[in-house]
Structure 1
Amino acid sequence: MKEFSHEYAEHWFHTPTPMEKAGGLWPIRAGHNKAKSNYKMGPRMITYYSVHFILDGEGMFTQNETNEKIQQGDIFCLLPNQTHQYSSNPDHPLKMFWLAFNGKQAIPLLKRIGITNYSTHVKGILNEEIIEILERLATHLKKDDEDDDLFGLSIIYKLFHSLSIQSKQKNLAPTTPRNWLQKSQEYMDMHFAENISVKDVAKYVGIHRSYFTDSFVNEVGVTPSKYLLALKMNRALELITEKTHTITEIALSLGYSDLYSFSRAFKNYYEVSPNQYLTKE
């Protein structure tokens, strides 16, 4: 580590590769330190997310007008464009590892480990496995080999996976179960072309079919079967309008067993056959 006025530290700066930037998460910088008695950072802001892992010591952390004591085993997260400040207890100096990153997966990944915009400090989450992963990540980041970006990402995702498991075991993550009706819609939106039935959807969300159907109608306004049909017919219309596929290809791609059953369903829905609609186009 290099000596600075307020700490001993080693910093690793990373320029995300095109492959990393095309994904959901990419590292920006990382490092580790051992604080001196006068250690204090901020008040300041950064433009990315930065999770700090407290390996030893204790101190104070302030963000979003919340002032909290931090200690060994905790993590805290600096949020983009939020004023923060943290300092070390002179009698028990902080020893930390930090990882800064960005990307569209940052928020959902942080949420899995108990960090939100309103709760940026998680107590007692670190264990030996997580610390070992941090050591592997440090070894990788020291090399900063552009051709090894996939390996680096695999370590970071492994880190979040282990943090997520630890968070669940300690009941540290906020409980935000998805509404099963929303879950059923997401399932149908994704798999409507794979010949799924209402019974399949009800089984997927773990609800009795009749109760599922009644509740779906009350919330969405149509039966699940009509919802599935609408998804198929809307997609059929898009494909027919593109004029790049035959009607038979479209029928089979949407889960129909043959052209006849698709054409009948299409005509019942739009009051014209697929060929008639294509002719009008």
Structure 2
Amino acid sequence: MNDLGIFDELSEYIAIRMNSYREETHDGNWIEHKTHYDYDLWLIQSGTVRIQINGFEHTAAPGDVVFFYPQVPYAASTDEEGCRFIYVHFDYGIGGQQRILSDFPLSGIIPSVLIREEVELFSRSCRRMRERDNLAGNRLYLKACLTAVIAKIIELHGQDLYTGEFLQDKRPRKTEKNVAVLQPVFRYVFEHLHRPIKMNELASIADISEKYFISYFKKALGITPGQYIYQIRMNRARDYLYQKKYTIQQIAGLLGYPDPFTFSKAFKKYYKVPPSKFE
């Protein structure tokens, strides 16, 4: 599993909340100095936007996406022709961790050539909201389009096609809640699902005391280590069943369960049906 694999593995725990969205038009005199409480995306529609963060200047053109992290001050301005962009403020979390994205270098300007389809989708959805605000499903569709934009940014970084440059290796969050410390733990779980996994093993891998490990894990990821392991096992169980290559007894062994009964009980608790009837 790569470093961003947790977003796929824990997709059921992901919660996205749109706090506000709007289209803004500014003339050539526009200058803004701000710090946002939540995540902020700007989808540039026309003109040029200059962003200054941590002493560096960055330029966004039409079609680009500007991604700001919370609690990071910036200055924004435009040229003589002015600019127009759609902004959306949102929260994005896994479990109880509402700042999970801040542990990855995603904050920056995503070039239009890499994210054109998702930007067009979100922009059309915003226009539809303005024209037919009371239409059932509109806000849900807009949220789905925002999810697609964020997922694309994560995908681009996972493929080494994009790395945010706003923070210049500076992290806005405290290191004691940093997911990077747990990356070896994620890989270890992924490679040892075939047997029982003990907390002291994981604590040792993370170089954290066993007493503190569970608390650290939950602060960083938003769920407990036990919930994480259970989720990964259920993901793999689903994949194995879809492959139709293994018996239930074999799957139980592949996932570290002592017998088919124990596995079936855990599977039914999660999927609400026994593995024999899963489709």
When the two structures are superposed, what TM-score results if normalisation uses the length of structure 1? 0.48
Larger CA Rg, structure 1 vs 2: 1
When the two structures are superposed, what TM-score results if normalisation uses the length of structure 2? 0.49
